[in-house]
Amino acid sequence: FVALLRGVYVCVRAHSLSLSPSFSHPLFVSIETRVQIQESVRGKDVFVIQTMSKDVNTTIMEMLIMVYACRTSCAKSITGVLPYFPYSKQCKMRKRGSIVSKLVASMMCKAGLTHLITMDLHQKEIQGFFNIPVDNLRASPFLLQYIQEEIPDYRNAVIVAKSPASAKRAQSFAERLRLGIAVIHGEAQDAESDQVDGRHSPPTVKTTGAIHPSMEIPLLIPKEKPPITVVGDVGGRIAIIVDDIIDDVDSFVAAAETLKERGAYKIFVMATHGLLSSEAPRFIEESAIDEVVVTNTIPHELQKLQCPKIKTVDISMILSEAIRRIHNGESMSYLFRNIGVDD
């Protein structure tokens, strides 16, 4: 989308540097990243565009080193453009774990980032992890346009949330398209559930003698997963499942099978970020899903070759417009038209 800016951009080259020790054993080779800026950036507005690859840790280090190189070269401002923010799914405390997205945000700010442009954060609260301005753009207008233009009988569709956690997103799509909504309830809990939250950990030694009986802490009744139910009518209709990330497709495949059993005759999956890792393309091809639509925030050309059901929506226009407006000091509110607090 740099071509859409119609302006001059600075070329920053990043490459790997192999540092071998005195002996040449293949297991003892260290690969480091070196950045070389091809022209002066002193006093200039720099935009570092970085898309996430499969090797996400190397990608993060490349960006941090590029940002730090621009900072030490006296750039006026450094704006990071990350269509997909890495480690965004690790934004809550796990049992004896850590909030990794907070760590990544702190490293980016420490490296010298002064502004961040990203798209559809997994949780909007991630914006609070930064002490710099964050523009969290939305891909929903492009996905809604795809539904209206590429699904001829979309008026006979129903927007589906594959779990109660994604019901708010489904409600937003349904209200804009004037369609009904359905929610699948009772599927297996994911990593977001409080079963993996460390707050329920009991003490290692029971010290009932030191606590008065009337002050005994009551124990919560353990949760019992209910049978899978679909709240809403999907019989004889098109089911459009919406979410923000498609990575492990097992839950989407299971939701598609449930919707087929309830009478849906076509099933679409719409999401912003198509990670589609591991065997996801094969599982999609063999499933009851008719089409998976994702944006190009993450490169997935190889996955499309493996599975013709995967379609791509281009969102480069909104990113290039955000870069232009920030560079010219214009308002960003135009890019957030009709977007409510709960969207």
Q: 165 and 249: one domain?
A: yes
**Do 237 and 182 lie in a common domain?**
yes
Number of domains composing the chain? 2
Same domain membership, residue 33 and residue 128: yes
Residue 178 lies in a domain: yes
pLDDT of residue 36: 83
Query: Which CATH number does the domain housing residue 84 bear?
Result: 3.40.50.2020
Can you give the pTM of this predicted structure? 0.83
Q: Are residues 274 and 301 in the same domain?
A: yes
Query: How many Å separate Cα 217 from the centre of its chain?
Result: 38
pLDDT of residue 14: 54
**Are 173 and 306 in a shared domain?**
yes
Distance (Å, rounded) from C-alpha 333 to C-alpha 68?
29
Is residue 197 a part of any domain in this protein? no
Domain-embedded: residue 50: yes
Question: Mean pLDDT in runs of 10 for the chain (343 residues)?
Answer: 50 48 50 86 94 88 94 95 93 86 95 96 92 94 95 95 91 95 75 50 54 72 81 94 93 93 95 92 95 95 93 95 94 86 67
* Same domain assignment for residues 66 and 147: no
In a domain, 270, yes or no: yes
Q: Are residues 159 and 127 in the same domain?
A: no
271 in any annotated domain: yes
In degrees and rounded to multiples of 5, residue 38 shows phi and psi of: -80, -10
Burial annotation 217-251 (CB, 10 A radius, 16+ → b, else e):
eeeeeeeeeeeeebebebeebbbbbbbbbbbbbeb
Q: Is residue 296 part of a domain?
A: yes
Decide if 150 contacts 266 (C-beta within 8 A): no
18: its two tokens = 């192999």
CA-CA-CA-CA dihedral for 112, 118, 121, 127, to nearest 10: 40
3-state DSSP call for residue 84?
coil
Query: Whole domain around residue 183: which residue ranges?
Result: 140-187+228-313
Are residue 167 and residue 292 in the same domain, yes or no?
Answer: yes
Residue of 234, 254, 99, 241 lying closest to 189 (CA atoms): 254
Residue 217 lies in a domain: no
d(CA 245, CA 121): 10
Helices (H), 179-315: 250-261, 280-285, 301-306
158 within a domain of the structure (yes/no): yes
What b-and-e string marks burial along 272-303, b requiring 16 or more CB atoms within 10 Å of the CB?
bbbbbeeebbebbeebbbebbbbbbbbebeeb
- The Cα–Cα gap between 293 and 310 comes to 6
- Give the pLDDT score at 295: 96
